[in-house]
């Protein structure tokens, strides 16, 4: 028997396999996430669908009750409500994903420059601003911003991103502070590592590791916020579940499914994203986040 | 003690001023910079009498805010004590039985209900009310003229339910997390070695030690609850401060937006002040 050391490539592959095994729960959840995204974004986009065309009053409405062909019934112009709900939810999910990602990046940009400062009160101004900022509830800020500015995604996405950043920044400060208190950090200091090396090599990875959990928890919250704003009519003439429910109210007596099924669809999708979010957050030990809106 | 109280009151006042200025800046930015309004927040023409659409009777701003505040206070009376009661008691129970992961289980129904869009829930209640009770379902449809106004409490509870769900779910998990963290500290091992049992350690030691952390959770869900009210009140056509914000934004009425937003911010501020006073006593 020849006693041979495994090749470099083999060792690397083994390390990757071990790392993947450690991350197995997160990977399964990411796969589920991708399946959910794929399902929402699959199918015919049906072009540029406008709520005014779908729900506009007609002399001879072409709606149909839910049946085997149309699980959720049809809209006033005869379009399948299930497909419309899927299209609307895909938009809500996109808005939420973009806004939350931008918010997390913004929070990191706000807090990161302060991490390299060794002072005790380096995070004080962020915590003070955030403490005063949360007194005005986020939903009121969004209503004034989106309603006053004429609606549309150009206001909703940056607004939600700022709110996420405002809420997340003190949490990141706390995590950075906790990260610097660990035994290995003390050991690194004793060994003579510079502050930059400690922050980039030790503290930052431990904080970044938790961010996918934050993202997964905040996406359903942002989805609900987007739907609420569209229900109030502050996101422009764009198809969304909120708009579908708001417009469906006009036909509550003749065609109640137009207000009921979009809400049911939204509840199921938000619940699926929330369940995945809780699992991802538990797997990454993110801990409870403060309520956002 | 009195000095500390005055100090906290001054801080609260400063925060309120900052929030007021921030709201004015937000109105200016959204209506004038991003929107197409010609009225700046500092121009005199932007502040007139109450628009007819906001108050069908001839109400002053003061009267309108008072009427709306009473309606919102009714909802908050239902929501905040329920969230605190459920959050703290179930959170403690969940932490006590942490080996069965009871906190997650107890929070689950509330968290699941929080996934239901609040505005859709309000529409559903109105629809059910119309089809099954043969009466208009939205809050602005019927007015009780004689006898006790029990209908107002029914409307308030419909608005309160979706707002309560998210708050209670968060509070249960947060309280349980604080207590679970406390019970994993090294001193617990010392008490075990000294012969103390589970209950003595949990109720006699862990809860008193975690009291200040628990007190710091008092006001955390209030802002989210108040924010949730804005949408649900509008959806259920409930005449509260939340729906006043939305109606004022639609009409472009700056005083309406400012007064309603500041009144709701005042609720959050009072909760924060109470938390700070209780935390400092601990």
Average pLDDT over residues A124-128: 85
Is the pLDDT at B116 greater than 80, yes or no? yes
Is the pLDDT at B179 greater than 80, yes or no? yes
3-state helix, strand, coil in chain B (%, to 5): 75, 0, 25
Q: Residue B3, Cα to own-chain centre: how many angstroms?
A: 29
Identify the pLDDT of residue A109. Answer: 92
Identify the pLDDT of residue A125. Answer: 86
User: Which candidate, B77, B270, B219, B243, places its Cα nearest to that of A291?
Assistant: B219
Average pLDDT over residues B122-128: 87
Is A55 contained in some domain? no
Is the pLDDT at A47 greater than 70, yes or no? no
Is B126 contained in some domain? yes
Q: Residue B167's CB: how many other CB atoms inside 10 A?
A: 26
Cβ-contact B80, B68 below 8 angstroms: no
Is the pLDDT at A2 greater than 90, yes or no? no
Residue with the bigger pLDDT between A283 and B269: it is B269
CA distances from B209 to A103, A111, A224, B75 (A): 35, 31, 37, 33
Tens-place pLDDT, residues B95-106: 998 877 888 888
Is A52 contained in some domain? no
Report the distance separating Cα B158 and Cα B218, nearest Å. 24
* Residue B134: pLDDT band with limits 50, 70, 90: low
Is the pLDDT at A197 greater than 90, yes or no? no
For residue B25, list chain A residues with Cβ-Cβ distance below 8 A.
Answer: none
Specify the 3-state DSSP secondary structure of A155. Answer: helix
Task: For residue B144, give both structure tokens.
Answer: 């009780």
Task: For residue A83, give both structure tokens.
Answer: 């497909």
Average pLDDT over residues B181-210: 88
In degrees and rounded to multiples of 5, residue A80 shows phi and psi of: -65, 125
Is A290 contained in some domain? no
Number of folded domains that form chain B: 1
3-state helix, strand, coil in chain A (%, to 5): 70, 0, 30
B173/A242 CB distance under 8 A: no
For residue A135, list chain B residues with Cβ-Cβ distance below 8 A.
Answer: 15-16, 19, 223, 265, 268-269, 272
Q: How far is B27 from chain A (nearest CA, A)?
A: 7
Mutate to test the interface with B, among A88, A128, A136 (most CBs of B within 10 A): A136
Task: For residue A218, give both structure tokens.
Answer: 């905040």
CB-closest option in A139, A155, A231 to B227 = A139
Residues 150-169 of A with CB under 8 A from B: 150, 155
Owning domain of residue A253 = 9-45+82-284
The interface predicted TM-score of the complex, written ipTM, equals 0.91
Is A58 contained in some domain? no
Tens-place pLDDT, residues B271-280: 999 988 887 7
Task: Return the percentage of chain B with pLDDT > 90, whole number.
Answer: 44
Is the pLDDT at B73 greater than 80, yes or no? yes
Task: For residue A15, give both structure tokens.
Answer: 């390390």
CATH (domain of B82): 1.10.3720.10
Tens-place pLDDT, residues A18-34: 988 877 777 887 888 88
Is the pLDDT at B128 greater than 70, yes or no? yes
Most confident of A173-177, A285-289, B197-201, B247-251: B247-251
Is A236 touching B (CB cutoff 8 A)?
no
For residue B167, list chain A residues with Cβ-Cβ distance below 8 A.
Answer: 291
Is A218 contained in some domain? yes
Report the distance separating Cα A261 and Cα A266, nearest Å. 8
Task: Return the percentage of chain B with pLDDT > 70, whole number.
Answer: 95
Q: Considering only A136-145, A172-181, B37-46, B127-136, which range has the smallest mean pLDDT? A: B127-136
Identify the pLDDT of residue A186. Answer: 83
Q: Say if residue A66 is exposed, middle or buried (CB neighbours under 10 Å; 0-12, 13-18, 19+).
A: middle
Smallest CA–CA distance from A287 into chain B, residue: B177
Task: For residue A25, give both structure tokens.
Answer: 């729960």
Most confident of A165-169, A203-207, B59-63: A165-169
Is A61 contained in some domain? no
Owning domain of residue B250 = 2-39+50-281
Cβ-contact B213, B189 below 8 angstroms: no
Specify the 3-state DSSP secondary structure of A78. Answer: coil
Q: How far is A147 from chain B (nearest CA, A)?
A: 6
Report the distance separating Cα B137 and Cα B121, nearest Å. 12
Cβ-contact A159, A141 below 8 angstroms: yes
For residue B127, list chain A residues with Cβ-Cβ distance below 8 A.
Answer: 252, 256, 259-260
CATH (domain of A110): 1.10.3720.10
Is the pLDDT at A56 greater than 90, yes or no? no
Residue with the bigger pLDDT between B158 and B59: it is B158
Average pLDDT over residues B66-82: 93
CB-closest option in B35, B131, B235 to A148 = B35
Report the distance separating Cα A151 and Cα A154, nearest Å. 8
Identify the pLDDT of residue A45. Answer: 57
Identify the pLDDT of residue B141. Answer: 73
Report the distance separating Cα A181 and Cα A195, nearest Å. 13
Report the b/e string of B243-271 with b at 16+ CB within 10 A. bbbbbbbbebbbbbbbbbbbbbbbbbbeb
Is B44 contained in some domain? no
Task: For residue B73, give both structure tokens.
Answer: 């206070």
Is A18 touching B (CB cutoff 8 A)?
no
Identify the pLDDT of residue A68. Answer: 79
Is the pLDDT at B135 greater than 80, yes or no? no
CA distances from B88 to A84, B107, B274 (A): 42, 12, 17
Is A62 contained in some domain? no
Is the pLDDT at A141 greater than 90, yes or no? yes
In degrees and rounded to multiples of 5, residue A74 shows phi and psi of: -130, 165
Tens-place pLDDT, residues A60-92: 777 777 887 777 777 777 778 888 888 888 888
Smallest CA–CA distance from B112 into chain A, residue: A271
Identify the pLDDT of residue B21. Answer: 94
Report the distance separating Cα A269 and Cα A267, nearest Å. 6
Largest Cα separation within chain B, whole Å, is 75
Is the pLDDT at A293 greater than 90, yes or no? no
Number of folded domains that form chain A: 1
Average pLDDT over residues A258-268: 91
Is A169 contained in some domain? yes
Task: For residue A268, give both structure tokens.
Answer: 């199921």
Residues 6+ apart with CB under 8 A from B100: none
Residue with the bigger pLDDT between B163 and A44: it is B163
Is A89 touching B (CB cutoff 8 A)?
no
Identify the pLDDT of residue A57. Answer: 65
Residues 6+ apart with CB under 8 A from B192: B201
Is A255 touching B (CB cutoff 8 A)?
no
Mutate to test the interface with B, among A143, A167, A262 (most CBs of B within 10 A): A143
Is B239 contained in some domain? yes
Q: Say if residue B135 is exposed, middle or buried (CB neighbours under 10 Å; 0-12, 13-18, 19+).
A: exposed
Smallest CA–CA distance from B31 into chain A, residue: A148
CB-closest option in B131, B226, B249 to A147 = B249
| Locus of tokens 């959170």 | B91
Q: Give me the count of residues in chain A.
A: 293
């Amino acid at each position: 028997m020849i006693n041979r050391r495994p090749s470099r490539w083999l060792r690397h592959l083994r390390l990757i396999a071990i790392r993947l095994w450690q991350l197995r729960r997160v990977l399964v959840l990411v796969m589920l996430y991708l399946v959910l995204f794929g399902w929402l974004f699959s199918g015919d986009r049906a072009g540029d669908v406008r709520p005014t065309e779908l729900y506009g009053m007609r002399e001879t409405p072409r709606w149909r009750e839910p049946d085997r062909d149309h699980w959720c019934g049809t809209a006033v112009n005869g379009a399948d409500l299930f497909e419309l709900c899927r299209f609307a939810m895909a938009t809500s999910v996109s808005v939420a994903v973009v806004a939350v990602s931008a918010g997390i990046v913004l929070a990191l940009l706000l807090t990161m420059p302060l991490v390299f400062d060794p002072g005790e009160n380096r995070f004080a101004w962020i915590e003070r601003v955030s403490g005063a900022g949360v007194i005005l509830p986020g939903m009121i800020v969004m209503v004034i911003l989106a309603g006053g500015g004429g609606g549309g995604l150009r206001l909703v996405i940056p607004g939600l991103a700022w709110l996420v950043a405002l809420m997340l920044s003190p949490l990141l400060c706390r995590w950075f502070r906790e990260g610097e208190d660990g035994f290995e950090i003390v050991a690194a200091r004793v060994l003579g590592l510079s502050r930059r090396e400690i922050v980039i090599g030790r503290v930052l990875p431990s904080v970044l590791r938790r961010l996918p959990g934050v993202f997964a928890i905040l996406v359903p919250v942002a989805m609900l916020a987007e739907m609420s704003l569209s229900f109030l009519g502050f996101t422009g003439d764009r198809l969304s579940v909120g708009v579908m429910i708001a417009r469906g109210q006009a036909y509550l007596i003749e065609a109640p499914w137009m207000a009921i099924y979009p809400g049911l669809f939204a509840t199921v999708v938000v619940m699926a994203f929330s369940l995945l979010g809780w699992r991802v957050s538990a797997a990454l030990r993110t801990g409870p986040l403060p309520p956002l809106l | 003690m009195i000095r500390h109280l005055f100090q906290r009151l001054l801080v609260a006042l400063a925060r309120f001023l900052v929030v007021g200025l921030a709201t004015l800046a937000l109105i200016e930015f959204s209506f004038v910079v991003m929107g197409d309004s010609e009225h700046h927040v500092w121009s005199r023409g932007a502040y007139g009498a109450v628009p007819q659409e906001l108050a069908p009777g001839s109400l002053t701003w003061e009267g309108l805010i008072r009427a709306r505040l009473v309606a919102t206070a009714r909802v908050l009376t239902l929501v905040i004590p329920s969230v605190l009661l459920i959050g703290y008691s179930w959170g403690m129970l969940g932490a006590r039985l942490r080996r069965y992961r009871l906190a997650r289980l107890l929070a689950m129904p509330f968290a699941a209900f929080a996934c239901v869009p609040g505005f859709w829930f309000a529409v559903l209640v109105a629809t059910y009310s119309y089809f099954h009770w043969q009466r208009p379902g939205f809050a602005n449809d019927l007015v009780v003229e004689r006898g006790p106004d029990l209908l107002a409490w029914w409307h308030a509870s419909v608005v309160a339910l979706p707002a309560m769900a998210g708050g209670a779910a968060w509070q249960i998990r947060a309280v349980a997390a604080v207590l679970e963290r406390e019970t994993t500290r090294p001193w617990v091992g010392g008490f075990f070695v000294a012969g103390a049992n589970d209950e003595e350690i949990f109720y006699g030691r862990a809860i008193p030690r975690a009291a200040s952390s628990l007190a710091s959770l008092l006001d955390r869900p209030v802002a989210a609850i108040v924010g949730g009210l804005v949408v649900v009140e509008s959806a259920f056509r409930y005449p509260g401060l939340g729906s006043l914000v939305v109606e004022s934004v639609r009409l472009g009425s700056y005083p309406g937006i400012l007064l309603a937003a500041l009144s709701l911010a005042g609720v959050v501020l009072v909760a924060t002040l109470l938390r700070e006073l209780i935390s400092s006593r601990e």
